[in-house]
Each structure stands twice: as structure tokens, then as C-alpha cells.
Amino acid sequence: MSALVNVRGEADIRRFMSLAHGGVYFPPHKRPRRCPPAAEEEQKQGFGLPESRSERVSLDSLPDECLFEVLRRVDGPRERSLAACVSKRWLHLLSSILPADVPSSVAGCRAGANTDAVSLARHLEGKEATDTRLVCMAVGAALRGGVSELFIRGSNASRPATDLGLGAVARASPSLRVLSLWNAPSITDEGLAQIADRCPLLEKLDLCGCASISDRGLAAVADKCPRLASLVIESCPKVGNGGLQAIGRGCRLLKSVSLADLALVADQGVAGLVSAAGASLEKLKLQHVKVTDASLAVVGYYGRELAELALSGLPLVGERGFWVMGNAPGLLKLRSLSVTSCAVTDVGLGALARGCPALKKLHLRRCIYPSDAGLTVLAAAAAGSLETLSLEECNRVTVVGVLGVLASQANKRLKSLELAGCVGVKDLPAAASLAGCAPCLSLRSLSVSRCPGFGDSGLALVGKLCPRLQQISLSGLAGVTEAGLIPLFESCQLGLDEVVLSGCANVTDAAVSALVERHGGTLQSLALEGCARVTDAGLVAVADRCILLENLDLTKCAVGDEGVTALAAAAVGVGLQVLSLSGCSRISPKGLQQLTKLDHSLQGLNLQMCAAISRHAISSLQKKMPLCDILG
């Protein structure tokens, strides 16, 4: 009985339900009580009472209507949890009790018990996502005001979460504000309608991979949840234009909308949503939907509050759509624009730059039409606001256009420049001159990755134009050597605090030594992954000069025991937190033991694929460094 007395909430309900057999809970059997023969005979005769009075009577013999009347009068958290543990029948009856069904005297007691209710968030993933779990959650959480945030990720293959469980949560959680359903194919419009009916305070709805939810479910949310502020719908094949139009009409406080992989959504739905919700809409994402230039025109005219816009994989949108959107008067507050795999051209790019005076961040990915001319127009038109420019796989852009952006005398705000996979970005001839080009004093971060033609001469030009860099990331650039890196490091006036040279196979100890000699006093993060020509000499230089270093990645470098010993000895009292030595085959157990000197600060250590280090040695090190997370 002591186990029953300590029951608390849905966790205990789930534990007791696991003890159920055939849907009914049986408590442990006690040793039978032995009675004298006379007493046994007296019991058999029922003390002379009629036979009907001697039979055992159970509440389970009552019909659901009568048992419901009994359970709705249960007036305490402990008593309610105990009742839910009796059987699945009792559990489901308790979950069906609405606040209006509770007598006033009992409701008053519960209201007093819930004065300290807190916000509850519940996550169910994979096999845990069943109706039984949801019903237990509903009964247990109802005593504390219900669930405020519910996240369902995946579904149990044999017993999936359905409308039954979701409805139980809806009845118990009138204050539900966040509902996220991912890959829940058995939840239909009926379940979503129950949420809408019982949870009018819903603010965020996230539907991904819900194959049974259609426009009908969205219409119910639009009618009953006027406070909805965030809507995410992805890979829901039955959602179309009607549901989006209903959301636009009913949810006037909508601030964020993300639509992705919706085959039935076209101009009618997107235009209807944006035109109705444009007065409040701040974020909009359209990915793989069948919209045309007309939708972009509507966004340009009605997106008066838009601050972030992401367009991806829109094959029916062309140059005209971007031009109209840029020239429309609505995008005056747009701060961030991301365009992926769309037909934006230099003309559209110029229109967007002129029509978005507050634009701070521009990301172009897999856009084949923008060229140096478009970048030049962009640099001139957005010079007063643009802070971050990211170009990924824009192959018509060359280093001339990039340097033109950097050298633009009007550009005084650009802080971050990222180039990734742009095959047109190649080194200029050695005779190229920067005469007349003003330096870009605002740039603080430069990232260049997977640009095979970019090398030493390009780095030298960047160094001359950008003397105030503080973060440099160069990844996968085989043409970069110490000849380009050393002038770049020497030109940085403010002190580098983050440097990434991963995959630059020709980086040597000389480049590392030049880096730490000039910037060792400010460097906090250094990544040398795949720099196979960096040896113990480079690591010794890092150990001697980098007094503020927190993150060091030496994956697949040629460092050994000597370098690790120097690092451990020099870093005593310094805050090195994360160290990766993965793939460093020259490190032996002897060098490994030196790392115990870093026990006071090291939080993460990667020793995977270190051929000379055994699992036993790693286990021994883990015992000596219990506060460090070691991978091996």
C-alpha cells in the first residue's frame, strides 16, 4: 500500500499501468487469513443474511454512465491518480471528464490546489508516442493546469498516437500554447479540431509529415484559435489553398509562416494568406510550392512587416517576380533575404537591393544567374545597410565582383563575407593592382570554402582590402600556402580570435607559427583538421603563445607525444576546453597521460581513430578525468 500512497502524476500512472493485466490492476496478494472452522462456516452462510448480500460488489460492474458520475467527484490529486491506475477503462473515463463536469465543491478544491501551477512541456518520441501515454499525460497534468507545450516526434508502429490521445490532451489542457506533430500519420483533422475546440490560446502550430491532416483541420484552427502567431507546415500532402486562406482570415496575429513541400499549395493559397495576414507577418518561408511571379508580387505589396524572407526551390518564379517584388512598396522593413535554387538575376538583385533599404543579410545559394555586375549594383544600392553577404555555388561570380564589393567606397557596414563552392572565384593574375580601391574597414569575418581556384594571391588581395578581420575560415583550399597566409595574418590589425584552416593540406608549421606569433594573445579557437603537414613544432608554438585558447582541433595532424606534452605543460592554469586529437596516430599512451594536467579546464576530448592508443588506456584516462567527455 505504501507504493500506492506515493503516486504522483502521469509518470506514476504509466508505471502502474505497466502492472495491469487484461486491462485491470491487481494489487499484490496477501497471505490468506485462516479462520476457525466455525467462522468459516459462518462466513459461508453470510451470517444468516440473504445470499445476495454476501456476494462481492465491484465498481467495475457499473455501466460507464454511473462510473463516470463516481469518478467526476474524485476531489484530490492523489485520489485521481490512484483511480487512473485501476484499469484502462477508469483511465479513459477520467480523461473524458471536462472542467464543466466537475461539481462546484470539487472544482473549488482543485482550483485551490492549482494556484502554483507551472508551465509544462512534454515530448514523446518514437515508440513512446502512443494513445496510452497521451491519456496518462492528460490525466496527470490536468491537476496542474494541463500541458502548455506538446511535442510528438514519430509514431509507434503498432500502437500509433491517434485522435483519441490528442483529444484527451485537449480536454485536460485548455492553456495549450504550442503543438508540434512530426510524422504522425494517424492523427487526422478530427484530432486537430479537438485541439482547436478546447485550446483557444494556441500560439504555435507545427505540422510535419502529417499525411491525414487537410484543409478541414486548418480551418478549425483558424476559427477557434485567433491568437495563433506561428505556423509551420511541411510535407502534408492534403493541405492546400483553402486551409491557408482560412488561416489568413482567422488568425490576424500571425507573425511567422513556413510552408515546404506542399504539392497542393499554389498562388491562391499563398497570396490569400499573405494579403490577409500582411499587417502582422514578420517571417515567411516558401520552399517547393507551386507559386509563380504573382505570389512574389503579393509579398512585395502586402509584406509591410516582413523582416525575414526565405525562398527556396520555386521553379515557376522568374526574373519578373523578383523585379516586381523589389519595386513594390511593401518590403521596407526586410532585414534578411535568403534565395536558394531560384531564377534571380542581376536585374532582380538590383531591384531587391533598392527596394529593401533595411536589408542587412543576403544569402544566395545555387543561383546560377547572378554575376559580378549584379554584385556591383548590390554593393552600391545596399551599401548603407548590408552587413552579411553569403554566396554559395553561385558560379558566375568571380573574385573581381567580390573585390568590387569589398572595395566599394560607399560600403561601410559589411561585417561578414562567405563564399562557398563558387568555382568562378579564382586568383587574379599576379600583376593585378588595387590602385584607387579603398579598404573595407568594416569587415570582421571572412569565410572561403570549396573554391578550388582561390589561393595565395587572392588571400593577399583580401588582406590588403580587409585589415580589420577577426575571424578567418578557409576550408578545403588546396592552393593556400604560407605564402598567402603569412601576409594575410600580418595585415590583420585588431587581432584574430578565430581561425579555421581545415582541409588546407599545404598549411605548414611556418604558417601556424606566423599566426600565433602575431595573434597568440587574442586567439581563442583554432581548427587545423586535415593539415597533415602540421607537426609537433607547430603545436609547441601554439602551446607557447596562445594563452586564451579555448578550442583546438588537430584532427589528422602529424602531432605526437612531444607536442601533446608541451601543450599540457603550457596550458596549466589556462582555459582550454575542447581538444580534438582524432586520427593522430603518433600519440601514444605516454603522451596521453600528460593530458591529465588539463583536468581542471578540459570539457571535451576526441581520441577517435588514434591507432596507438588502446581502449583500456582511454578508459583509464576517463577515470582520472571524470569531468571531461572523452570520445575514443
Average pLDDT over residues 485-507: 93
Question: Taking the CB of residue 550, how many other CB atoms lie within 10 A of it?
Answer: 18
Lowest-pLDDT choice from 1-5, 51-55, 271-275: 1-5
Structure confidence at residue 31 as a pLDDT band (50, 70, 90): very low
Do 479 and 453 contact (CB within 8 A), yes or no? yes
Strands (E) located in 481-624: 498-500, 525-527, 551-553, 578-580, 604-606
What is the CATH topology of the domain spanning 495-632?
Answer: 3.80.10
Task: Please report, for the chain, the start and end positions of each structural domain, with discontinuous segments joined by +.
Answer: 2-46+59-106, 495-632
Residue 297 has pLDDT above 90, yes or no: yes
User: CA neighbours within 13 Å on the CB side: how many for 481?
Assistant: 4
Distance of CA 38 to the CA centre of its chain: 74
Q: In sequence order, which ranges of 36-182 are alpha helices (DSSP H)?
A: 37-44, 51-54, 64-71, 77-84, 88-95, 104-113, 131-142, 163-172
Mark residue 90 as left, alpha or beta (left: phi above 0; alpha: psi -120 to 50; beta: remaining): alpha
Three-state secondary structure readout of 281-329:
CCEEEEEEEECCHHHHHHHHHHCCCCCEEEEECCCCCCHHHHHHHHHCC
CA distances from 19 to 12, 27, 464, 466, 485 (A): 11, 9, 74, 69, 68
User: CA neighbours within 13 Å on the CB side: how many for 12?
Assistant: 19
Query: What pLDDT is recorded for position 2?
Result: 40
Listed residue (116, 112, 186, 177) closest to 151, CA to CA: 177
Residue with the bigger pLDDT between 588 and 81: it is 588
The CB-based long-range contact list for 99-108 (8 Å cut-off, 24+ gap) reads: 99/174, 101/72, 102/72, 103/72, 103/73, 105/75, 106/72, 106/73, 106/74, 106/75
Structure confidence at residue 67 as a pLDDT band (50, 70, 90): low
Structure confidence at residue 30 as a pLDDT band (50, 70, 90): very low
Q: What is the C-alpha to C-alpha distance for residues 418 and 402, in angstroms, rounded to an integer? A: 10
Average pLDDT over residues 473-481: 92
What is this structure's pTM?
Answer: 0.82
Average pLDDT over residues 355-370: 95
Structure confidence at residue 383 as a pLDDT band (50, 70, 90): confident
- 603 DSSP 8-state letter: -
Average pLDDT over residues 456-479: 90
User: CA neighbours within 13 Å on the CB side: how many for 541?
Assistant: 19
Listed residue (242, 251, 241) closest to 221, CA to CA: 251
Query: What pLDDT is recorded for position 231?
Result: 97
Lowest-pLDDT choice from 114-123, 245-254, 604-613: 114-123
Q: What is the pLDDT of residues 103-147, one digit of tens each?
A: 655 544 444 444 344 578 999 998 889 888 888 778 777 667 788
Query: What pLDDT is recorded for position 495?
Result: 92
Structure confidence at residue 156 as a pLDDT band (50, 70, 90): confident
Mean pLDDT score across all residues of the chain: 84
Query: What pLDDT is recorded for position 54?
Result: 46
Residue 438 has pLDDT above 80, yes or no: no
* Cross-strand partners of 578: 551, 604
Mutual angle of helices 163-172 and 88-95, in 10-degree steps: 50
Query: What pLDDT is recorded for position 27?
Result: 47
Query: What pLDDT is recorded for position 98?
Result: 62
Average pLDDT over residues 317-338: 95
